Structure 1
Amino acid sequence: MLEGTIMGDETVIRELVARRVEAMRAGDVEALVGDYLPEAVAFTLAPPLRHTAPEVQDPEALRGWFASFDSAVDFEVRDLVVEVGGGVAFCFSLNRVSAVPRGGSGAFDLWFRSTLGLREVGGVWRIAHEHTSTPFYMDGSFSSAVDLKP
């Protein structure tokens, strides 16, 4: 590996994102919450507007979310871009989540936008901030545009 170089750091961050995809598919809550810094903040698709570190690092909350499905969660990251330098990085991508809600008749398929802000602490890249969102229609309905696909 090219440790200490921008190319090496980008590779490590891409590997972190790939591990998170596999952890989502496996329902591995410990792996998912373990990627966050103690002071992490997340702006996710679910309310409230801001999730702070105790919530972001709570494996029980994430276990509850996984338990709300009758199927495994399928997860995909597409068009990942990573920018890194000086011990900080950000990456953005289009992500897809799909699963069968508990008691549902079929899977939903949702594409959304994702941005991660990372910091290197003690030689390890960790997530300091996560932001996920869906666009909304600007036609007066203000409906989330959950029907979009890349």
Structure 2
Amino acid sequence: MTTDGAARELRDLIEARVAAVARRDAGALAAQQAGDVLAFNVLPPLRLRGADEVAPQTEAWFDAYADGPGYEVRELHVDADGDLGYCAFLYHVTGRLKSGADVSMWVRATLVCRRRDGRWVVVHDHESIPWDPESGQGLAGLSPDDDAERGN
């Protein structure tokens, strides 16, 4: 069961994440991650191991945008037991790529966090987008409102 202090600290971690994306500050995002983080991000490759692999991918993500990326978190759920916790949420990415394409996509995210040396760090980052088995395409354009319309 989450203590109020742990829940606040995990929420603060997410607020700092949102602020770092707004500043396009890959270093601040990397500082939230354990050196041995395991990341399954939306962008290729399938997996990254270690903050030294994740940081260049984050820089490339930022560099692809002419305007943005916007990063809005919704439906944040946190829980912790001792020094192990998680944050699960949806995030909406918006902006305009340097190619001229507009981006508006929803992503599901779960961060597994561990308290090390008195602070929470991300030890596992897992992101995904819904997938349509009929077309074989990702459905990043879905929104939480689509679920509400279906009664989920």
TM-score normalised over the length of structure 2: 0.88
Find the residue that maps to 2:132 and give its secondary structure: coil
Q: Kindly indicate whether residue 49 of structure 2 is the aligned counterpart of residue 55 of structure 1.
A: no
What residue in structure 2 maps to residue 23 of structure 1?
Answer: 20
What residue in structure 2 maps to residue 115 of structure 1?
Answer: 110
What residue in structure 2 maps to residue 7 of structure 1?
Answer: 4
Contact 1:26 1:72 in 2 (8 A): no
Find the residue that maps to 2:108 and give its secondary structure: strand
Find the residue that maps to 1:84 and give its secondary structure: strand
Letter in 2 for 1:132: E
Find the residue that maps to 2:74 and give its secondary structure: strand
Shift of 1:65: 2.1
Provide the identity percentage.
31
Aligned positions of 1:78-89 closer than 5 A: 78-89=74-85
What residue in structure 1 maps to residue 150 of structure 2?
Answer: none
Alpha-carbon distance in structure 2 between the residues aligned to 1:103 and 1:148: 23
What residue in structure 1 maps to residue 147 of structure 2?
Answer: none
What residue in structure 1 maps to residue 127 of structure 2?
Answer: 132
What residue in structure 2 maps to residue 147 of structure 1?
Answer: 141
Shift of 1:86: 1.8
Aligned positions of 1:29-48 closer than 5 A: 29-48=26-45
Find the residue that maps to 2:127 and give its secondary structure: strand
- Normalized per residue, which structure has more strand? 2
Alpha-carbon distance in structure 1 between the residues aligned to 2:83 and 2:74: 24
Q: Deviations for 1:87-130, whole angstroms, at most 9, x for unmatched residues?
A: 100110011111101030x5210101000000001110000000
TM-score normalised over the length of structure 1: 0.89
Alpha-carbon distance in structure 2 between the residues aligned to 1:97 and 1:21: 11
